[in-house]
Structure formats: C-alpha cells, structure tokens
Structure 1
Amino acid sequence: MSANYEVTLDTGDDCNAGTIDKIYLSLVGSLSSSDKFRVWTLSGLYCGSSKTMTIESKHELGEILLVKLYKDKHLLLPEDSWYCQYVTVKAPNNTVYNFPCYSWLVDENTLTIIEGKARRRCDYQSPILEEHWINEIQSRQEAYQWSTFVPGIPRNIKAENTTDLPKDAQFTVGRKLNLVFNIDSAFLDLGLNPLKASQKMWNNLGEIRKSMDLSKVPIAAYVLKHWKKDTFFGYQFMNGSNPQLIKQCTHLPSKFPVTDEMVTPSLGPGTTLQEELQKGNIYIVDYEMLDGIPANSICGKQQCLEAPMCLLYLNPENELIPIAIQIRQEPGPQNPIFLPSDSKYDWLLAKIWVRHADMQIHQLVSHLLETHLFAEIFCIATLRKLPNAHPLFKLLMPHLKFTLHINTSARQLLISEGGVFDQAFSTGGIAKVQILQRATEQITYSSLCLPENIASRGVGKLPKYYYRDDALKIWSAINRFVENIVKIYYKDDATVLGDSEIQEWATEIFTEGFLARQSSGFPTTFHTRAELIKFLTMIMFTCSARHAAVNSGQYDWGSWMPNNPSTMQKPAPSEKGKTVKSDIMCTLPGTLETATVIATIYLLSKTPPSTAKLGIYVEERFTEAEPQACIEAFQKDLQQVTLEIEKRNENLELKYEYLLPDRIENSVAI
C-alpha cells in the first residue's frame, strides 16, 4: 500500500550554503525504504530557504529512522556544496520526525542523517541503525585523524592547511580566517603601517604613545595612564589578560630570600613579613617555567628571556601591591632583589621584566595550550568516538565548533617556523616548543577544574578578584546545566559505567591529548555520574569562559606595549642603581616587533562577524522536550549571572566585563 510523506529541507543561512547542484533524497524506515527522489526547484536550494515536497512511497515505511541525501553536479558547472541544516518528515499518520543535520553535502557523496532523538550505543536496536553507527564512526575516524606538530605536546588534527580539513570543520564564509588574520589590514586599521617596514628602536615612551590612538579603547587608555603604578601592576594579576597565575604564599621559597628589612617600608609599621605570611596577605607569581629556556633571535639579534619571581602584599586598603622582584631564579650577588624603595628606573624595569615573562606564559600556556590545544583534543576525540546521535555529542559540539580551523591556522601563521612568534617574541624559535613541552608535563586535571584550581592557589578570599568571582558563577551555571542533561540520559552510575562510547572517548583524550601521563590525573574511565558531570563541565568551561578570560582582553592590556612587551632586547640588570631611562627604551621591543604583536592581538581580540554566545545554541541538535527545557534553564541562569556582574560593575572605575555571558563565545573559534 502506497503512502505519502511530507519532507521539508532547510538550507543553512550562510551566504554559500545553497546549491544549484541536483539534490536527491530517500527515506529509510523500520519496515522499508523509499525510492530516491529528486528535489525539484527552479532556483536551486538557496541560503536560508525551506523546501517542502511530498514523497510517494510504494510501501508503508514504518518508523522513519534515516534520511539519505545525494548530490550530483551539473555536467558543465563546478561542484556546488550544499549545507543542509535540518530535515523534517511528516508521516501519513501525522507523526513528525526531526533530523538535525548541520552538515555539508560535498561532491557526489551521500549524507545519511539519523532521526534526532539522542541515543547511546545500546539504543541502536535495529540492524539498520547498527550499520549506520558503524559507518558513521568509520567515516569520522578516516576524516579526522591525529597528527603530531612537535613531540611532547598535545596531538592535533592531521591537516597542513585549513583546506585539508573536512568541509564541516571549516569556517563559514562569514568567519573566513583569511579575513581574521589579515595582518596588513590590521596595520592600516591601527595606523601602524609606516612602522611595518622599519627595524629601529623606540626613542622614548612619547613616541610609542603617538604611534597609535588608544583613546577610543577605554581599558587601553586606562592602562596607558596607570601602567607604572604599583597598585595597577598588582591588579592585573587578578583581572588582566592572564588572571590565573597568582598564588597565596605561606612560606618564602629558599630561592627568593626576601628579608624583613627589605619589605618593611612596603608593609608599614607594626608588622613583619612572617606575620603577613601567616595572615595570608602575601602572594607570589613565579615564572619558573621560563628558567633556562634559550631566548629567540630576531633578525639576527639575540633577544633576552628571564624567569622572574614577584612577591605581592595585600595591604590594609585591600590593594595588591608588589613588594619584591627577583628577575632570575637563582639568588646571588649578580641577581639582586628589586624593591619599591629602589630608584624609579630600577623598579620600573624590574616590573617590566615581570610583565614580559607574563606575556610569554599568557600567550603560550594560558591561552594557546590550556584553551586552544586542549579544546582541539576534546574536539577530535568527540568527532572520532561519539556519533551525531549521542547525547554528549549533541551537548558538546556547539562548544567545539570551528576549533580545528582556528588551530590549524594558528599553527600555520603564528607558531610555525617564521610565524609571528619567531618574528616578535623572545620565546620564538625553539623556546616556544620547550615551554609548551614543559607546560604539558606539568598540567593536571585539577588545574583545569576551576574550583579546585582556586583552592590550590589559595585565592578564594582575595578581594577584588573579579575574574574568580565571575568565573565561578559561569562554572556553576554550566555545572547545573550539564548535571540536568546527564541525569536525563544516565539514570544511575551503572549507566555511565556501561556506556562504552564515553569510556573510549575518555581514554582517547587521555592518550592522545595528555600523552597517557598518569601524573596528569585525567580520567580514563567514568564510574559515576558525578565524575562525568565534572569532566563535561571542565570541557565546556575551558572552551568558553576560560578562553574568553585570556583572549578577549589581549588588546585592552597589551596595546600599550610597555605593559606587555613581547621581547626584551637587552639583558636584565645584575646590580642596582645603574638603570637609566635610556636603558628601558633599549630593552623594550623595537618598532617592527611592536607593530607585529599589536596587529596580531588586535585581530585575535576582535569579535568575529558571526558568533554563537554562551548558551545560545543556533544548532538545535536536541529534539526532545526535556533537554530543550534544560537549555532554557541554562539561559536563565546566565541571564542572572549577567545581572549580578552588571550590578557589581556599576561601582567600579575599571569594569571587568570579559565574563559577561553575552561576551563569551561557546567555542574556541578566534
């Protein structure tokens, strides 16, 4: 007996999503399959369009399990890929089946879409779906393969260029990376073009100030005005572009022999350094990871790199101020401890050395490794081990979107041989590789889980630490959302343990991403729902809020170059009282390095033309009512976070806005 099925095809709204190629489809049901039907349209399937057609099947198909899409190109025309967003099928009995697709149909291939209900491996209870699962995983593992950029760091996607990536992993036209990383246009936007061809030193700070207009960037203008102040120097460790390094200091390291006599002028009368250590008012930032790393050579000139330590004091006014800086790790007569009571140029240069070290760790570790490269691990493993229908694939995919494209471009343009790091950073060349390797050896699962990270650093009660406050709110909102989703699909701990797909997924992340290093503490198996919820929260937070915190403010805090110098061209002072004003200018990056870095961070900090903000899921992968209700609850939670941040910011001279939910992108895609 014949039956009519109403099929609606929705084309994505990106400007090249449509196609003029010939599109066909067939329906696969639990009882039978339809013939292959041509999708007839005079103007083609254009972007943002919806095409409804009626398919007459010779037989009742039963429950609709799959939709198969086919494409043939016209004989004399180039291939025209099509982005299918969604397919809806209405059966004769008025049952509606939803097929979220969000994939490209390329060349003369076949695209098979499973019905949208989320399901785990044990839910594929038909030979048709079993075969689909096998084919999907096999196809994904062929398309997304692991590669090694350099040994000793997380592995990456196998692709030399972004064009090597599967079409689904590439930027849409609205986000094409050749626009994002157009350094030449950034030079022109910033008025830096005349500097591009020069290779000279700056004469004075006024010359740097005149090179570009920072008045239209409020935080950058604030940095320019306050960067020499000790209170502002301390503030940046909490709320600047790299707010994750500061730790409470309960006892002084033997390598940092600060005495009471040295810091009494900073602590004031009636107290001692030991008393303030016991009270929890002393903090430290230690760049030991840079120790012994060979500095880069730029245009044949050897650069300089040190591993400073900075001791900070939370004073009675709740201001965090630096009280001692040692520029090298090993104490001794040639490595003095610089103090606020020293000459103003000694003290200023010592602080610049700290800011320089912070710039290196920020870019290579806090930003590149701990957000971009880790997000890539999560993305590749998810694509290789979890099929489209898996509830965790549906949950995570919006937070992994476009990461492979942005990272492939970064390897090609920023950290490749001759890239931006080699051109303008003291940690270019072999240095960047060694730092990434050291950081990979030291990273732990606990350090990526925000509440544990804050507790281990002893900064839970540090006043005015707005990054911590806002990040914890975001973490909690994500955690509640994840918990609600997990409880829908995993009724108890045994259900988690019995899901072979997520166990293999966890093992792949541990093995390929964290190089099977047991000391990292990364799980290879999930035994309980609580373990799974924590892991998923960590992934979503890393790919969204953690990245926003270290990426969005790069231009704000680094456009005034002396505050975040990318390289140092003169060795650090080995004695006090000898630094003069000209020494600072000779030490700072030259005009070419300055222009290159500022243009780069300007581009990296820009809001892309097409964004997906945290909790806004433009791809409706979940089709059931329960997870959709969870998404609505998550969005309400984020709205409350927004209100709380905005209320706090009303009373601040310098607002902290990087973790406002509508300024956080779902994924690492810039």
Structure 2
Amino acid sequence: MSVTYEVTVATGGSIQAGTIDKISVSLVGSLSNSDKFRIWTLFNLSPGSTKTMNIESEDNLGEILLVKLYKDARLLIPEDSWYCQYVTVKAPNNAVHNFPCYSWLVGESSLTVIEGKARRKCEYQYPILEEHWVNEIQSRQEAYQWSTFVPGIPRNIKAESASDLPKDAQFTLDRKLYLIFDLDSAFLDLGMNSLKDSQKMWNNLEEVQKSVDLSKVPVAAYVVKHWKEDTFFGYQYMNGSNPQLIKQCTHIPSKFPVTDEMVSSSLGPGTSLQEELQKGNIYIVDYEILHGIPANSILGKQQYLEAPMCLLYSNPENDLIPIAIQIRQEPGPQNPIFLPSDGKYDWCLAKIWVRHADAQIHQLLSHLLETHLFAEIFCVATLRKLPNAHPLFKLLMPHLKYTLHINTGARELLISDGGVIDKAFSTGGAGKVQILQRAMDQITYSYLCLPEDLASRGVERLPKYYYRDDALKIWFAINRFVENIVKIYYKDDATVLDDSEIQEWATEIFTEGFLARQSSGFPTMLQTRAELIKFLTMIIFTCSGRHAAVNTGQFDWGSWMPNNPSTMQKPAPSEKGKTGMFDIMCTLPGIQGTAIVVATIYLLSKTSPSATKLGTYVEERFTEAEPRACIETFQKDLQQITLEIEKRNESLELKYEYLLPDLIENSIAI
C-alpha cells in the first residue's frame, strides 16, 4: 500500500531567488528513501512563492531525516540559480517536519537538508545522519578556507573579490543595489563632484562649510556649530563615533608631566590635580599606539602623524572637559603641554591634533579591526566547524550574515594598496598595517567583553556616558537571550565540555583569528555553560551593538572635516604663540582628501533598505517551540530598551540614538 507525503518548497523573497531551472526533490527516512520527484509548475519558481506537491512511496519511509533538492538546467537556456528558503514535509500521520534551508543551488547541483531540530554531533542517531554531518563539514571547509591578507592581523576568508565567495555568502541583488564603496554616487549625492579631483587647499572654514550641506543632518549641524567648544570636545569621547577609548587616570604618567599649576584654572578654586585624581574625576586618552608609525605620503606630499595624550576633567557640572594636551609622546622643550589658557589658535590646533589621532584609531581599530575583522573570524570558524543543525550555528548565523561580502569589498577598495585609506589618511601606506599588527599584540578577550572593559577603564561612574548605559542594556539583553538558548541544549557543564564541535570551533577562533596568542586571554576551549554564554554574548554584541556604536554615527561626527581630520599636512607645533588661523588651514586636509573621506563615511553610515534589525530573525533556523519563545522574549527586552532610551533622550539637547535597537543591525553588513 503506497504512502503519500505532502511536500512544500518555499523560494526566497529576494529579487533573484526564483528560477526557471528544473527542480526535483526526494525524501530520506529512517526506514527507506523515496524516488526523485520533479516539482512541476506552469511558470518558474518565482521569488516568495511556495509550491506544494505529493510524493508517493510504496513503503513507509519512517521518520523523515533529510530532504534532497536537485537543480538541472533547461536545454539551451543559461543556468538560473535558485534560493530555497525551507521545505516542509507532512507525513501520513499529519506530523509536519520542517527543513530550514536558506541556501542557493547554483549550476547543476544538489543539496541535502537536515530536519530542523537543533542537535549536536552526539545526537545524530542514524548512520545516514552521521554521513551527512561528515559531508556537510567537508563541503564547508572546501568552500570556506582561511587566507592571510597581511601577516600579524586576523586571518580572513580566501577570496580575491566578492564574486569568489560562495553564493550563500554574497549579497542578494536587493542589497547590491545599495552596495557601498561607490564613491562617485556619493560625490553626486553630496554635491561634491567638482571637489573630488581638486589638489588645492582650503582657504578658510567658510569654504569647508559650503562644500557640503549639513543643515539637514541634525548631529552634523550641531558639530559644525559647537566643534570648538571644550565641553563638546570631551562629550565626543563618551558619545561620539569612537566612545571606547577614555580611561580613568589614577596618576599622571611621567611622560606627560602635567603640574597642578598648569591646570589650576581649569579645575577651579578649592581643589587640586591630586585631589581630583583621588576623587576619580580625571580621565585620559593616550594614542601611544601611533608612536613611531611612519606617516603616509599623499599625491607626493609628505603627511604628518603624532601620538598625542589628552587629560580630561569631569567637572562639578558633570561636563567632561580637556585640561591638557601633549601632542608627542616624549616630554621636552620642543613638545609643550597645551592648555585651555593658551592662545585660542594654539589650543584649537592642539585639539585638532587629538581629533586627527582619534580619526585614525576609530577607522583602523575601533571600526575595522574590532568589529569587521573580528566578526569575520567568528563567521569563517562557524561555517567551517559547525553544521546547520548545531544550535550555535542556528543562533549565530543571523549575526554573521553578509560579513564576508562586506569585508572582502573593504579589502579590495578601502584598505588595499591605493585604496581610500592610502588616498586620504595619514596612516595609509605601511602605517595602517603596523597599527593593526600592534593592536593585535595588545588585544584581550576582556576588552571585547563590555562589562569587563568598562570596569578596567574605570568609567562606571562617569556622568553623561550614554554609550556605556545603552551598550550595557544591549549586552545584558543579548546575554539573557543567549543564556536561555544555551540552557535548552546544554543541561550542565559536562554537556558543554563534551561537545567536540564547539571545542574545535573555539580553538579555530583562537588559532586562526587571534593567532594563538596566549596573552590575549581568548579561550582555547569552553568548559562550562557560563563560559559558553559569555563567549557567545561577546560575539553577538561585537557583530551588532559594538559595530553600531562606531559605524552608524560616522557621518554625523566626521562630515565636518575640522572635527575629524584624516590627515595633517604640516608638522605639529613645537612651541606656543606661533599659530594662527592660516597655520590651521595649511595643516588640515586639502579639498580632495576631505571629499574622499566625507563621501566614504557617508556611504558607510547608510542603512540598507533590506537591513535586518537586532533581534529580527528573517531566517527561521530554530524550529522548536522553546528557542522560538526565547526569541520573543529577546524582542520584548529590546522593545523595553527602546522605550528607556527614548525617554532618556527626551531631556537631552543632543540625543544619543546609535544603540536604539531598531537602529542596530543584526550583523555587520555595511
């Protein structure tokens, strides 16, 4: 007696997901396999469509374990790729089996999809599933291989260009329409087309202001108006586009010999530098990592780079203000400490040198290395070591989506020889690589774990630090979500330790990504549920909240060039009283460099129309009720965070919105 199975195949909704090629399906059960059946349709499988068919089998197939999909080209018609979203199989007893796919079939190919229940390797109960596991991992490791862009920085996916990536790792067409790195389109959007080839200097700040209309960008317009103010300068270290550098200063470094007399007018009467140090009100930003890095040459002209230090004071009004700046690391007569009491042009130029250093660290470290490149480590290791059915693969893939494509594009066009960094930044050329290598020698696991980083920097009580407040909310919401998921699949510490898949995954991240540097503190294995939860929280936060904090506001804070100079064209001053406005204009980037940087950060700050916000899981990889309930709880937590941030922002002149959950993407896809 024949048995009938009702099979539904769903095609993805993106523009190119459908196909005119011939699609067939077969079922693999615990007792037997079905024949291969063609999916017949009068038209092609169109985007967003579902097709239901009946598959007849002479015997009961038993538990449906796998679905096999086949794609064959039509005669004399070019191959047409197909994106399968999912397959469902309704058995004769009305039980419905779900098979999340979310993969492309390219050329004449086949794809085997495992039933959707999350499972670890030890839970593959049938030999056919064990064979499937071996084949899947082998196929993945052939498709996703490690490569080295330059020694001493995290390894990356092996791909010369985005077209070399497996199709599953590439943007779909609807994203490609808004793909970044098209500088010409940005020049046109910004009305800067006539500036992109100019090799002239700016004559005055009025020219800079007229070069691009920032009046309709509220934060950028605020920057233009307030960039010279000390309170605004300090505010940026807490809530600007690079809010992760400031540290509490417990003692004045010998290389930065600031005296009480120097800063007494900034501190006010009735106190001293030593008293404020003891109270925890003195903070420091030190760009020592830039010391000795060779400065770039742009259009044949030597540029300049220094490693400044800045001392800041959290005053009784709860404003953070700069009170001393030393532009070079070594103290001495030719390296004066600049003070707010100095001439206005001396002090202004000193602050510009600090902002210039910050622009380098922001782009190369806070943004590129600590979000994009680290996310790529997590992505490649996950694809190579965890199969589709693994609970951690299901958890992580939405947060790793499209990162390989965006990073491959960045290596081609931004950080390659002759790319944007080389064309417009003082750290271009050999400098950018050296900075990345130095940072990799210093990076630690604790630094990427937000609560530990904040504690180590001593900034838990710093007033008006909205990045800290909002980032912690996001971190702990992710942490609760991850904890709930982990506890479903790992009943105790032993089940974590015994999961060979995640142990190999953690080792691969440590070895290939963090270059097996023991001093980094990155785990080589995960022995407890608590360790696993922390590690997963760090990954998801890095790929979502951390990236949003340093990416989304780039145009807001950097489009006014004097606040974010990408290079310096004159040496730093070696004495006071010799600086005028003309000297500042000669030091700042020229017209072409300004246009390139403003266009680039304009593109990097844009949100794709197909962006997926944090906590939205378009790909429903979890099929069981328990993890789906965890997702709902996570979404409710994020909604509550949104309400709290919006309420706080009501009373602020300058709202901090970069960590509003609706503005955080699930993954690094821009």
Asked if TM exceeds 0.5, the reply is yes
Query: 1:504-526, CA deviations, whole angstroms, 9 ceiling, x for partnerless residues?
Result: 00000000000000000000111
Q: State the partner residue of 2:338.
A: 338
Secondary structure in structure 1 of the residue aligned to 2:179: helix
The answer (yes or no) to whether the contact 2:178–2:608 under 8 Å persists in 1 is no
* Unaligned 5+ runs, structure 1: none
The answer (yes or no) to whether the contact 1:154–1:512 under 8 Å persists in 2 is yes
Secondary structure in structure 1 of the residue aligned to 2:98: strand
Query: CA shift at 1:177, angstroms?
Result: 7.1
Task: Report 1:72-221 matches (<5 A).
Answer: 72-176=72-176, 179-221=179-221
Secondary structure in structure 2 of the residue aligned to 1:321: strand
The answer (yes or no) to whether the contact 1:356–1:568 under 8 Å persists in 2 is yes
The answer (yes or no) to whether the contact 1:287–1:307 under 8 Å persists in 2 is yes
Q: State the partner residue of 2:273.
A: 273
Q: Which amino acid aligns with 2:90?
A: K
Counterpart-to-counterpart distance in 1, 2:89 and 2:567: 60
Q: State the partner residue of 1:387.
A: 387
Q: Which amino acid aligns with 1:524?
A: T
Query: CA shift at 1:179, angstroms?
Result: 3.5
Secondary structure in structure 1 of the residue aligned to 2:10: strand
Query: 1:216-267, CA deviations, whole angstroms, 9 ceiling, x for partnerless residues?
Result: 0000000000000000000000000000000000001100000011000100
Counterpart-to-counterpart distance in 1, 2:436 and 2:175: 28
Q: Which amino acid aligns with 1:131?
A: E
Question: How many pairs does the alignment contain?
Answer: 670
Q: State the partner residue of 2:535.
A: 535
Q: State the partner residue of 2:288.
A: 288
Counterpart-to-counterpart distance in 2, 1:360 and 1:438: 14
Q: State the partner residue of 1:244.
A: 244
Task: Report 1:493-532 matches (<5 A).
Answer: 493-532=493-532
Counterpart-to-counterpart distance in 2, 1:440 and 1:367: 14
Counterpart-to-counterpart distance in 2, 1:330 and 1:421: 27
Counterpart-to-counterpart distance in 1, 2:221 and 2:505: 46
Does residue 452 (structure 1) correspond to residue 452 (structure 2)? The answer is yes
Q: Which amino acid aligns with 1:78?
A: P
Q: State the partner residue of 2:618.
A: 618
Q: State the partner residue of 1:48.
A: 48
Q: State the partner residue of 2:440.
A: 440
Counterpart-to-counterpart distance in 2, 1:182 and 1:281: 45
Query: 1:185-217, CA deviations, whole angstroms, 9 ceiling, x for partnerless residues?
Result: 100000000001211100000000011110000
Q: Which amino acid aligns with 1:268?
A: G
Counterpart-to-counterpart distance in 2, 1:351 and 1:174: 42
Q: Which amino acid aligns with 2:332?
A: G
Counterpart-to-counterpart distance in 1, 2:191 and 2:389: 49
Query: 1:127-168, CA deviations, whole angstroms, 9 ceiling, x for partnerless residues?
Result: 010000000000000000000000000000000000000000
Query: 1:47-99, CA deviations, whole angstroms, 9 ceiling, x for partnerless residues?
Result: 00010111111211000000000011112111100000010000111110000
* Unaligned 5+ runs, structure 2: none
Q: Which amino acid aligns with 2:325?
A: I
Q: State the partner residue of 1:591.
A: 591
Counterpart-to-counterpart distance in 2, 1:497 and 1:233: 48
The answer (yes or no) to whether the contact 1:246–1:285 under 8 Å persists in 2 is yes
Counterpart-to-counterpart distance in 1, 2:75 and 2:428: 50
The answer (yes or no) to whether the contact 1:371–1:542 under 8 Å persists in 2 is yes
Query: CA shift at 1:44, angstroms?
Result: 1.0
Counterpart-to-counterpart distance in 1, 2:175 and 2:549: 21
Query: CA shift at 1:180, angstroms?
Result: 2.1
The answer (yes or no) to whether the contact 1:12–1:85 under 8 Å persists in 2 is yes
Query: 1:432-456, CA deviations, whole angstroms, 9 ceiling, x for partnerless residues?
Result: 0000000011000000000000000
Q: Which amino acid aligns with 1:598?
A: V
Q: Which amino acid aligns with 1:5?
A: Y
Q: TM-score, normalised by structure 1?
A: 1.00
Q: State the partner residue of 1:654.
A: 654
Counterpart-to-counterpart distance in 2, 1:21 and 1:10: 15
Secondary structure in structure 1 of the residue aligned to 2:41: coil
Q: TM-score, normalised by structure 2?
A: 1.00
Q: State the partner residue of 1:31.
A: 31
Counterpart-to-counterpart distance in 1, 2:438 and 2:58: 65
Q: Which amino acid aligns with 1:403?
A: T
Query: CA shift at 1:306, angstroms?
Result: 0.3
Query: 1:356-412, CA deviations, whole angstroms, 9 ceiling, x for partnerless residues?
Result: 000000000000000000000000000000000000000000000000000000000
Counterpart-to-counterpart distance in 1, 2:181 and 2:299: 23
Does residue 401 (structure 1) correspond to residue 416 (structure 2)? The answer is no
Counterpart-to-counterpart distance in 1, 2:102 and 2:263: 61
Secondary structure in structure 1 of the residue aligned to 2:416: coil
Counterpart-to-counterpart distance in 2, 1:84 and 1:64: 19
Counterpart-to-counterpart distance in 2, 1:600 and 1:261: 43
Q: Which amino acid aligns with 2:244?
A: Q
